[in-house]
Structures are given as C-alpha cells and as structure tokens.
Amino acid sequence: MSSLYFTSLNSGSNGNCYYIGNDEEAVLIDAGLSCRETEKRMDRLGLSMKKVKAIFISHEHGDHIRGLEVMSRKYQLPVYISSATLQHSGLKLNANLVRPLVAGATILVGTLLINAFLKNHDAADPHSFTVENSATCIGIFTDIGKVCENLSTHFKRCHAAFLEANYDEVMLQNGRYPYHLKNRIRGGRGHLSNKEALDLFISCKPAYMSHLLLSHLSADNNHPDLVRDLFTGQANGTHIIVASRYQETPVYTVCGSKALPAVISQPLGQLALF
C-alpha cells in the first residue's frame, strides 16, 4: 500500500481543499469550498467521502475553512486544528470532533502519517503539512510568505507536492492592487512569488519528485500559462500541473520505492496575526 492518491479540489483565494489518501482512507487539507461543492467535485472524480477520516486546517482565513462546520458535522469528521487557529476562526465546531494540532507532531490517521510544521503567513498559527506512508510523501505548501528551513527540508522528501506560486512580481507591481495590499502579499508573511517557488523547486527538488501542482495562483497577478512555462523549463522529468481556482484536477497517483528519512521541523518563532 505504498501508493498515495491526491487531487486539488480547488486552489485559490476563492477556496482551498486538497485530498490525499490511499485505498482505505484519506484526509482533506483545508475545507474552503462549501460542503455541497466539495461533494460534487469528489463525486465527479469517483472519490468517496466515506474514505475521508479527518480534516486538517492550515489556518483560519475564510478560503480555508468556509465549508468546515457543515462538512465536519454532516460526516462526523475529526478536525485537527491548533488552539490559536480555532480561537481566531470564529468556527463553531462540535467539541468532541476537535483534535489538537501542534507543530512538529506526527498524527496517524489509519496508515497515513501527517506531519504539521510552522510556516510564514499572516495568520494566528499557520501550518503546512506532509501526508505520507512508509515509502511515499506528499507535501501541501501554500499560503507561504517566504521559504524557510522547514519548507526546504520537507520539500526535499516529497514525491509530489502542492506548491504555492501565487504571483508574478512584475504583474503584481504593475497591477491594480493598492500599495498596502501589494506589500502585504510580498512582505514575507503573505504569499510566495513564482520566482521564489521556482528557486525552491530548482534547489530542493528530489530526483524522485514525479508531480508538482502549482497552487493558489492569483487571479489578478499571475497566469496559468506563464507559471506553467516557467516551471516546465526546469522540470527535469517532474510532471507540472497548475491547480485551478475553478475546478478540480484529475486524481494523480504516486508510489515511492524506499523508506523515507525522518525529519525534524524547526520553530519559526512568534507569528503575527494580520
């Protein structure tokens, strides 16, 4: 059971939700679509909510939690969420379904291992994740202001990854956003640019990485063709996919061939809420 299956159900400021699982169980990373829309997209892909055993929440922004209350209640799904994220979210969750999320912890969901680690983003207690088994690792790395040691260390272990490529620097600079919003996006606790994401990909991509899903693209400050071409030129055998903000991607399969090394995440210090 070394294979893992994964898809982006949606990726962007209008909603984020990622599915990762095996033949027996799966998890959702974030729940930024309505429950009904999540069900529709999974049904079109032939995926069953019966396999989903838990939801992991990266941070409290609405595009990551919009469908969480209904989905958790309807399917009685445990929600792994940090205490600070829950406090700042305004969510009303069944207390019996809330599970603690602490950076550096490894959580077992069936045979899936989920690692949570801190990232740079303007939220109360933001986390990124890897989902893995004994031989295969998939990373979910979005809503990141800048590359840190945690991100580069975990990226080096991934057979596949969702990686934020939010904006093109020239398009952002020349675009319609007000100055304060431009600075929020590029200020180190906002989002990752195409160039920053590409630099990480070039410097840290393991030879066995088979899929990279470019994620959380800005509707105003990026373009799928631009970022796809940028990364395809450096792919060296990695399949480059742009995760859409309008529809689900196909379900991809990845299978590792050897045991993965252990990893220790580093603290990032206090992260400010914007």
Interval 115-159: pLDDT, tens: 999 999 999 999 999 999 989 999 999 999 999 999 999 999 999
Tens of pLDDT, residue by residue over 229-273, are 999 999 999 999 999 999 999 999 999 875 555 565 555 543 332
Residue 15 lies in a domain: yes
Residue 112 lies in a domain: yes
Q: Which of 147, 154, 87, 92 is nearest to 268 (CA)?
A: 147
Residue 261 lies in a domain: no
Q: Which of 127, 42, 31 is nearest to 85 (CA)?
A: 127
- Rounded to an integer, the average pLDDT of 198-221 is 98
Q: Give the confidence band of 2 by pLDDT, cuts at 50, 70, 90.
A: confident
Residue 37 lies in a domain: yes
Task: Tally Cβ neighbours within 10 Å of residue 192.
Answer: 30
pLDDT at 269: 44
CA–CA gap between residue 213 and residue 10 (Å, rounded): 12
What's the number of domains the chain is made of?
1
pLDDT at 270: 35
Q: Give the confidence band of 39 by pLDDT, cuts at 50, 70, 90.
A: very high
Residue 95 lies in a domain: yes
Residue 230 lies in a domain: yes
pLDDT at 213: 98
- Can you give the pTM of this predicted structure? 0.94
Residue 64 lies in a domain: yes
Give the H or E element holding residue 9.
strand 3-10
Q: What angle do CA 171, 230, 158 make, to 5 degrees?
A: 115
Counting residues of the chain whose pLDDT is more than 90, the rounded percentage is 92
Q: What CATH number is attached to the domain comprising 62? A: 3.60.15.10
CA–CA gap between residue 242 and residue 221 (Å, rounded): 15
For residue 133, the enclosing domain spans 3-248
Residue 270 lies in a domain: no
- Give the pairing of strands 137-141 and 17-21: unpaired
Q: What is the mean pLDDT of the chain?
A: 94
